[in-house]
């Protein structure tokens, strides 16, 4: 299954349309919480609809994408825009976090996600700089 390590690889998996819609959700702070437990990422995404949507993404390790489910009715391709928004947060979180204990539950709250969404787009180059300990 495909790896999701930065925005480009996520876009390749999600498809251009779902990606650009998800990116808009990501930027305006529609993702409220993300929890990672075992091989699942669970996200709550709320926009103008009265009820939030619940996303459940199966991953292996930190970046090996398996499948995505969402409570929304939009089944377009591999994943919907809500799943894209959650995964954008996830790839950014993984990139800026030096050590992640994969056995532990990770909970990202609204404040953390807001800071996350202000990050510049991640490219392979900036990712390399981050992992090398530099600034970008
Ligand atoms: Zn959805």
In a domain, 41, yes or no: yes
Q: Is 1 within a domain?
A: no
Q: How many whole angstroms from 131 Cα to the centroid of ligand 1?
A: 31
- pLDDT profile of the chain (136 residues), mean per 10: 90 96 94 94 93 96 94 86 96 85 88 82 66 56
- Exposed e or buried b for every residue in 57-92, given b needs 16+ CB within 10 A? bebeebbebeebebebeeeeeebbbbbbbbbbbbbb
Instruction: Judge if pTM exceeds 0.75.
Output: yes
For the chain, what is the domain count? 1
Ligand 1 centroid to Cα of residue 22, in Å, is 9
Range of the domain at 14: 7-131
84, 70 Cβ separation under 8 angstroms: no
Position 79 in a domain: yes
How many A from CA of 18 to the centre of ligand 1?
Answer: 10
Task: Tell me how far the alpha carbon of residue 30 lies from the centroid of ligand 1, in angstroms.
Answer: 12
In a domain, 64, yes or no: yes
Rounded Cα–Cα distance for residues 130 and 57 (Å): 25
Domain membership of residue 2 (yes or no) is: no
């Amino acid at each position: 299954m495909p790896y999701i390590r930065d925005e480009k690889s996520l876009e390749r998996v999600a498809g251009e349309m779902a990606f650009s819609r998800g990116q808009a959700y990501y930027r305006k702070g529609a993702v409220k919480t993300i929890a990672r437990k075992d091989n699942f990422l669970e996200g709550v995404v709320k926009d103008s609809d009265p009820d939030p949507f619940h996303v459940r993404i199966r991953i292996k390790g930190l970046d090996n994408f398996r499948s995505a489910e969402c409570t929304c009715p939009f089944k377009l391709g591999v994943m919907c825009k809500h799943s894209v928004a959650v995964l954008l947060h996830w790839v950014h979180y993984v990139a800026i976090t030096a050590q992640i204990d994969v056995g532990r539950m990770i909970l990202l709250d609204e404040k953390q996600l807001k800071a996350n969404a202000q990050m510049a787009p991640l490219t392979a180059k900036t990712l390399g700089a981050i992992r090398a300990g530099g600034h970008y």
